Structure 1
Amino acid sequence: MGKIENNKLLLASVLGFIGLVINLYPIHLFANIQLILGNVSYVIAAILLGPWYALYTAIITVTGLMMVWDSPHVYFLFGVEALCLGFARRSHLYALYASFGFWLFIGMPLFYLYIFLFTDLPSSHIAFVILKQGINGLVYACIGSLLIILIPSFWHFKNKLKDAPRRTFNAQLTYTFTLVITVALLLAALLFNNQFIERQQALLYQNIENSADHLGLSTQAYLNSHTQAIKNAAAWLSLNQYAEVEEQILLSQLHTHYPGFITMLLADKQGTVISASPASLLSSLESQPEFDIRDRSYFVEAFINQRHFTSPVFLGKGFGQDPIVAISAPIYRPDTPHQPIGIIEGSLDLQEFKAIDHVNTGSHSQSIVLIDKNRRVIYASDNLDITPLSEFSYSVPSKNYITPFPMLNIAHSDNMAPEYVYASVKLENDWQLFVLNPFRPLVELVEGMYLATFAILFVALSITIYISHVISGRLTLPLENIANKFSTTPQGPHSEYAVDEESPQEIYTLFQRLQQSKSQLIGYQLELEEKVALRTLELERANNKLQALAEKDPLTGLYNRRYAENKFPAIQELCQRSDEVIAIALLDLDKFKFINDTYGHDGGDLTLKRVAELLSQEFKRDSDIIVRYGGEEFLLIMPLCNALKIEGHLESFRQKLQETGIELETDKVQFQVTASIGAVIGNGSFNASLDEWVKQADINLYQAKNSGRNQLVFTTLEDS
């Protein structure tokens, strides 16, 4: 990995946090199918910045998915995708083509291995989930690529990855067409699929609810009719007194009219069964002389609490071992209307509910479960393989399955995918009826739609690439031919061909105008070359003048401060390398303001010129540099000087300046000027900065001024 650049790292971080926020809110499509768009961030990072910044962006981005899905595989899968897109970009492959190849050959197989090894998703769902993720990957790859094309700031990002070979206009146009059509096809397909699926879901659940309402009414009517039969029989027996033989006959006749009862019986106040239907049941009681029903809930409720009663489901005994539901009512005598003399009871045949199940016209795939208030199964459709009397237990599928209707699992309670969609109704006696519809057929429908989407996309991409290539070729070939025709390089035997009658009007017009302008351009070129040669000569002369103005003081003709600063590093390096000394002297004219005030600025300017002339005469070695340092200050740089004689040389100059007369020609006035000098000498290794040397010389100059002016203070510097 190359050196980390701050601006790239900042862009990768910003993209990552934007992607994280977007991934916190995936777009729900169907069940556990969600469209994730935050991954657009690392697609952009891969295209602009390369694989390692893309990986960094991907880690930040998919953290949002980790918060939502709680599935660590997102770091590995999408991290590998970010690296592949980044390396593909370095190899100058377009992101969409790289994404298609990644999901086809790497992403889908990796996703399959993860689901197969680390999740309990049913095998029937795996192909669907993998296919959905591949389509989602193409969606955000297209969107990321389009955003880079449509946002100009990304075009001009100076540190972005650039193509080593320049791409042809044909390739760029083909890719742009492919992106636009792919995004349009994918989004249209997803939108259509989503609307169709939502419609199917609504119709499915409406059908289930209608079935639940219909079956609930049928079951309630079945219970009501049999409850009413028991109540009517109890009332009839209470109004009329019959002998036991007559009661047996009446009970058998009643049972004949209500075959929904598997058995019926009459019991006295001691709970002893005195009549039963079928009558053959009485013979079985002879072997059980102590058999009574005093402990049965249906006897207690009817005889003790004196009310008709529908029991929960229970396992019969005495008259058989079948699960039954008992309906009972008290029997009175006209002379004891408030004291029951016994009960009448009918045991419902639970298999009769099968007739209600078969009456369900909603769907042949629907099943029913009827439970009592204790949640024990009264009846369940045969295909559910649920035994009566068992407790009806089910589990709710994973929270990732977001649907507008309730779902449950019966056979596989730990399965993350739902088995059934259901609706339920509650009956008047607190029984509950569930209508179940398998969820798998709806999933298969969605799988087929997504598979068709993927196939259509593949065909559409192939056609789009071909058509785009042909159309862009129609545009770019004439332009290429025009470029060849007007090129100064020979193009072979076909160089004269440019455009034909099939070329677009705009290109043909361009060709004509270029032909008309070619001869004019040749003439302009010759004229321009002549003018350029002339202007070049003038420019060289002007540059020489500018160079002199930039390096010299116009008044004194001495070098200026900038020249000294530019020249000193080379001088210092030479002296350091050859172990030679450098002397620096800072000279300041004494009471120069007095001269200006007394003799005017002409007198001040004349003084500066005379001092400059005297300096040039005294310090005239080729290596000496005399600088007007500013105002009335002068700087002497004297490399490779004689350390024993330089102080005497400076003192000699000071005295000579003191004795020199300066005469104003206009006023015939003569005056003298003196100077204070601060000088230092040291090895070239003292310091590479001219400012440090001048600073030391300035300290000596300050001392010379304070000591009465017109003095030289000279010291030797020691290496720091």
Structure 2
Amino acid sequence: MFQINRQHFKFSLFLGILGLIANLYPIPLFGNVQLILGNSAFVIVAILLGPWYALLTALVCSIGLFISWSSPHVFLIFSLEAIWLGFARRKDIYSLYADIGYWLLLGMPLFVLYASIFSELPESHLSFITLKQGINGLICAAVGSLAVTVISELWQLKDKVKDKKRRSFNAQLTYSFSLVLTISLLGSALIFNHQVIIKQQESLKRNLHDSVTHLGLATEVFLETHTRAIDNASRWLSLSGAEKISGWQSKLVKLHQSYPGFATMLVTNADARIIAASPLSALGVNKVLNKEISVEDRHYFQEAFFNQITYTSPAFLGRGFGADPIVAISAPFYRSNEPDKPTGIIEGSLDLTTFAQIEQANEVYQDQSMILVDEAGRVIYASDKLGLAPLSEFMWAESGKDYKTSLSMLNLRDIENPNPEFVYDSYALDNQWKLYVVKPFSPLLKLLESQYLTTFAVLILSIIITVLVTRVLSIRLTQPLSVIANKFAEHGHSKAADYHINEESPIEFLNLYQSIKKSKQELISYQLELEEKVAIRTFELEKANAKLQILVEKDELTSLYNRRYAEAKFRSTQDFCQRSDEVMAVGILDIDNFKSINDTYGHQGGDECLRVLSREMKKYFKRDTDVIARYGGEEFLLILPFCNVLMIEAHLNEFKDKVQGLVIINPNDKRPISMTVSIGALVNNARYSTELDVWFKQADINLYQAKNQGRDKVIISMPKPSDKKVTV
């Protein structure tokens, strides 16, 4: 009958409390992977005192894990492990070997069964978490066994479990090597795997950021291009006059052909009746001619007509042209004699399938998916494999909050589950839409799982090899000693040569030393070679980044700075002028009738005009502080700090006249091309506003006036006479 030994009980309880404290502070690795060392306590007790005291220690240790993990499985799994190790010790089976058998035969299958029934773990997480439990168990078994072996003087307990028979030198040497090998291999593997997964996270995070930025910019360019098309078309309609309504249908069809990103386009009168449409057949020719179709209840009409703005709608179901989800872009147009009273609107419905083409540009990362959400939180577009229907509410939740990772994670399907489904990054568009790029989280787990599985397999193989090799080594070490002992007992001390033993170190040791030395030299050589390759790759990456920076800041066609650079440069320029209380000018230069140039001379001729004009601008506005940028299409932005208010108008008129005198040779057919430009500008003290949009708006109004007054003009808003006088 089992009797409680008070000394053993106190010892077991003491180690259990130490294990409990250690388990309260598990070592975090990646995600929810944690290394626990407190369970080494019940391994020590199982070796020294047997199964039942080990059970007590395991229960106390598991309290710490239950507090940390909030999962009751720890009491079952680790209590059984303690009992298993205790009985194995009584059978003279080494604890490490017994623990390998436990996790393979009972521990991991039991955990899978428990997790499948009681846990919310996704199937993709299950095998990884199970493998992690086994690896962690082996580490604790190895640490506990090594502690008993190395510091045996510490465990001076009466009536502790002893071997039934004395173990051989071969067995002891093999087991000692196996313990050291297990701890070294698993420890280094955990560190290596941790570093690898950190690199994977950094790479994944960078890839996601690059993808979402690329797709976000592409989406913004797509929207901006089509918004500007509608905006320019509305101005063109305003200039056309009411007497030309009969010709709008054909021109609308041509405009639609130029912008296939629009699924449909239409023009209404002031009563919201459709008077032109493309494709006309979809609505019916007679219905359009008779003005039978009204869009009075549509937001895109109300916002554009009554608020007199260029309006981009949230996603909604179409009507008339079809019942597909669309996003409408609309703008009002006016009579030439009533510029403040809208005559109607022009509207284009974006083809949402175009976003799939934008996503295809990101095909380098095939396992990533794209989600585009409007300002109302509804799905505009989502990759097919996500199964999110257009116009559905975008339902998602942050997940993996307790995971140790720098990645942002979310769930789309099982929102309540704390375990992450996707890693993601997001991009906020200028129109309050939001773009998400997501990637399944499970491949990261699969990578780590494969690393752990490889580690486990290498460990088992290493232990098998260690057993075989150690047996050979022990025989080679013990056999000569036996021969010497026998010879000495029979004949007394003799020369070493009589026993076939060299007085020098064994040749195997020398060979081993030389082999290690050679391997080290090869390793150093490989390391130097690897460092050289890394340095070369780093240099190439820096060069590529420099080129990319140039591409980001400059327009490829004109070699001028682009809109992003101009907006960023404006801040520092305005701030510098403001601190000096200086005057600055912001101007918009636009090529007159550029569409006509393109239609007459082709796009190559138009591009040549842009290139020649850009070169002339760089020659004329050549101060280091001047900023010249292509703002979009045939429109250029001038930021001229420290300018003279008395000379700026003449300066701009001089450049306008110079452009008028240019003769440009069309590279396509060698025909000469002449062009004119209109310039709208604002000159004021830098304190006028810190926002470029405010300066740009006034300059744009002046440009509009220049266009209305016949083009080839410069119109500037000057400071009032009462403003502080500024000189160059």
Q: Structure 2-normalised TM-score?
A: 0.65
Q: Deviations over 1:395-436 (max 9, x none)?
A: 344545443212223244455643322111010011111112
Code of the residue aligned with 1:473 in structure 2: it is I
Code of the residue aligned with 2:443 in structure 1: it is P
* CA 269–464 in structure 1, closer or farther in 2 if over 3 Å, else same: same
Q: How many Å apart are 1:161 and its aligned residue?
A: 2.2
Q: Deviations over 1:581-629 (max 9, x none)?
A: xxxxxxxxxxxxxxxxxxxxxxxxxxxxxxxxxxxxxxxxxxxxxxxxx
Q: Deviations over 1:503-542 (max 9, x none)?
A: 88799xxxxxxxxxxxxxxxxxxxxxxxxxxxxxxxxxxx
Code of the residue aligned with 1:379 in structure 2: it is Y
Residue 331 (1) aligns with residue 333 (2): yes
Query: Is the CA contact 2:373–2:394 (under 8 Å) kept in the aligned structure 1?
Result: yes
Query: Is the CA contact 2:40–2:143 (under 8 Å) kept in the aligned structure 1?
Result: yes
Q: Deviations over 1:153-195 (max 9, x none)?
A: 4243345322232223332222111111121111122222221
Q: How many Å apart are 1:362 and its aligned residue?
A: 3.5
* Helix, strand or coil at the partner of 1:22: helix
Q: Which runs of 5+ in 1 are unaligned?
A: 491-496, 508-720
Taking the TM superposition and a 5 Å limit, the aligned residue runs for 1:184-203 are 184-203=184-203
Query: Is the CA contact 1:210–1:362 (under 8 Å) kept in the aligned structure 2?
Result: no
**Higher mean C-alpha deviation, range 220-229 or range 377-386:** 377-386
Match of 2:110 in 1: 110
Q: C-alpha separation between the residues in 1 aligned to 2:200 and 2:52?
A: 45
Match of 1:279 in 2: 280
Q: C-alpha separation between the residues in 1 aligned to 2:6 and 2:227?
A: 83
Query: Is the CA contact 1:482–1:498 (under 8 Å) kept in the aligned structure 2?
Result: no
Match of 1:457 in 2: 459
Q: C-alpha separation between the residues in 2 aligned to 1:174 and 1:286?
A: 93
Query: Is the CA contact 1:311–1:325 (under 8 Å) kept in the aligned structure 2?
Result: yes
Taking the TM superposition and a 5 Å limit, the aligned residue runs for 1:66-85 are 66-85=66-85
Work out which of the residue numbers 465, 468, 485 in structure 1 matches 2:470: 468
Q: Deviations over 1:53-84 (max 9, x none)?
A: 11111111111111122111110000000111
Match of 2:96 in 1: 96
Q: How many Å apart are 1:10 and its aligned residue?
A: 2.2
Taking the TM superposition and a 5 Å limit, the aligned residue runs for 1:570-585 are none
* Helix, strand or coil at the partner of 1:378: strand
Q: C-alpha separation between the residues in 2 aligned to 1:501 and 1:285?
A: 115
Q: C-alpha separation between the residues in 2 aligned to 1:12 and 1:319?
A: 80
Aligned-pair identity (%)? 51
Taking the TM superposition and a 5 Å limit, the aligned residue runs for 1:139-154 are 139-154=139-154
**Higher mean C-alpha deviation, range 122-131 or range 64-73:** 122-131
Q: Deviations over 1:224-273 (max 9, x none)?
A: 00001111111122233042212222222211111111111112222122
* Helix, strand or coil at the partner of 2:353: helix
Query: Is the CA contact 1:354–1:381 (under 8 Å) kept in the aligned structure 2?
Result: yes
Match of 1:569 in 2: none
Code of the residue aligned with 1:126 in structure 2: it is L
Q: C-alpha separation between the residues in 1 aligned to 2:338 and 2:20?
A: 81
Query: Is the CA contact 1:207–1:362 (under 8 Å) kept in the aligned structure 2?
Result: no
Match of 1:365 in 2: 367
Q: How many Å apart are 1:324 and its aligned residue?
A: 0.5
Q: C-alpha separation between the residues in 2 aligned to 1:141 and 1:282?
A: 77
Code of the residue aligned with 1:42 in structure 2: it is F
CA RMSD, Structure 1 to Structure 2 (Å): 2.7
Match of 1:391 in 2: 393
Q: C-alpha separation between the residues in 1 aligned to 2:461 and 2:434?
A: 51
Q: C-alpha separation between the residues in 2 aligned to 1:437 and 1:178?
A: 41
Match of 2:47 in 1: 47
Residue 270 (1) aligns with residue 271 (2): yes
Q: How many Å apart are 1:479 and its aligned residue?
A: 4.2
Q: C-alpha separation between the residues in 2 aligned to 1:100 and 1:464?
A: 15
Match of 1:501 in 2: 500
Work out which of the residue numbers 388, 409, 412 in structure 2 matches 1:410: 412
Q: Structure 1-normalised TM-score?
A: 0.65
Q: Deviations over 1:78-115 (max 9, x none)?
A: 00001111111122221111111111222122122212
Q: How many Å apart are 1:321 and its aligned residue?
A: 0.8
* Helix, strand or coil at the partner of 1:346: strand
Q: Deviations over 1:623-660 (max 9, x none)?
A: xxxxxxxxxxxxxxxxxxxxxxxxxxxxxxxxxxxxxx
Q: C-alpha separation between the residues in 2 aligned to 1:98 and 1:498?
A: 44
Q: How many Å apart are 1:208 and its aligned residue?
A: 1.4
Q: Which runs of 5+ in 2 are unaligned?
A: 491-495, 507-728
Match of 1:5 in 2: 5
Match of 1:446 in 2: 448
Q: How many Å apart are 1:499 and its aligned residue?
A: 8.6
Match of 2:421 in 1: 419
Code of the residue aligned with 1:76 in structure 2: it is L
Q: Deviations over 1:113-153 (max 9, x none)?
A: 21222224344443333222222211111111111223254
Q: Deviations over 1:437-469 (max 9, x none)?
A: 223333322222222212111111011112222
Code of the residue aligned with 1:268 in structure 2: it is N
**Higher mean C-alpha deviation, range 37-46 or range 4-13:** 4-13
**Higher mean C-alpha deviation, range 343-352 or range 122-131:** 122-131
* CA 399–78 in structure 1, closer or farther in 2 if over 3 Å, else same: farther
Taking the TM superposition and a 5 Å limit, the aligned residue runs for 1:334-353 are 334-353=336-355
* CA 483–284 in structure 1, closer or farther in 2 if over 3 Å, else same: farther
Match of 2:520 in 1: none
Taking the TM superposition and a 5 Å limit, the aligned residue runs for 1:663-678 are none
* Helix, strand or coil at the partner of 1:347: strand
Query: Is the CA contact 2:35–2:136 (under 8 Å) kept in the aligned structure 1?
Result: yes
Q: How many Å apart are 1:45 and its aligned residue?
A: 1.4
Match of 2:211 in 1: 211
Code of the residue aligned with 1:424 in structure 2: it is S
Q: How many Å apart are 1:282 and its aligned residue?
A: 4.7
* CA 498–10 in structure 1, closer or farther in 2 if over 3 Å, else same: farther
Code of the residue aligned with 1:263 in structure 2: it is T
Match of 1:259 in 2: 260
* Helix, strand or coil at the partner of 2:405: coil
Code of the residue aligned with 2:157 in structure 1: it is F
Match of 1:240 in 2: 240
Q: C-alpha separation between the residues in 2 aligned to 1:498 and 1:111?
A: 60
Q: C-alpha separation between the residues in 1 aligned to 2:111 and 2:499?
A: 53
* CA 400–500 in structure 1, closer or farther in 2 if over 3 Å, else same: farther
Q: How many residues align?
A: 500
* CA 203–249 in structure 1, closer or farther in 2 if over 3 Å, else same: same
Query: Is the CA contact 2:273–2:291 (under 8 Å) kept in the aligned structure 1?
Result: no
**Higher mean C-alpha deviation, range 31-40 or range 69-78:** 31-40
Larger radius of gyration: 1
Q: C-alpha separation between the residues in 2 aligned to 1:431 and 1:4?
A: 70
Query: Is the CA contact 2:275–2:291 (under 8 Å) kept in the aligned structure 1?
Result: no
Residue 227 (1) aligns with residue 227 (2): yes
* Helix, strand or coil at the partner of 1:195: helix
Q: C-alpha separation between the residues in 2 aligned to 1:424 and 1:431?
A: 11
Q: How many Å apart are 1:368 and its aligned residue?
A: 0.7
**Higher mean C-alpha deviation, range 7-16 or range 318-327:** 7-16
Query: Is the CA contact 2:400–2:409 (under 8 Å) kept in the aligned structure 1?
Result: no
Q: C-alpha separation between the residues in 2 aligned to 1:255 and 1:499?
A: 105
* CA 445–56 in structure 1, closer or farther in 2 if over 3 Å, else same: same
* CA 503–467 in structure 1, closer or farther in 2 if over 3 Å, else same: farther
Q: C-alpha separation between the residues in 1 aligned to 2:334 and 2:291?
A: 25
Code of the residue aligned with 1:435 in structure 2: it is V
Work out which of the residue numbers 309, 315, 322 in structure 2 matches 1:307: 309
Q: How many Å apart are 1:385 and its aligned residue?
A: 2.3
**Higher mean C-alpha deviation, range 455-464 or range 292-301:** 292-301
Q: How many Å apart are 1:486 and its aligned residue?
A: 7.2
* CA 156–282 in structure 1, closer or farther in 2 if over 3 Å, else same: closer
Q: C-alpha separation between the residues in 2 aligned to 1:506 and 1:221?
A: 77
Q: C-alpha separation between the residues in 2 aligned to 1:101 and 1:331?
A: 81
* Helix, strand or coil at the partner of 1:421: strand
Q: Deviations over 1:357-402 (max 9, x none)?
A: 1111431222111110111111111222222111111234454544
Query: Is the CA contact 1:380–1:388 (under 8 Å) kept in the aligned structure 2?
Result: yes
* CA 390–38 in structure 1, closer or farther in 2 if over 3 Å, else same: same
Q: C-alpha separation between the residues in 2 aligned to 1:469 and 1:269?
A: 98
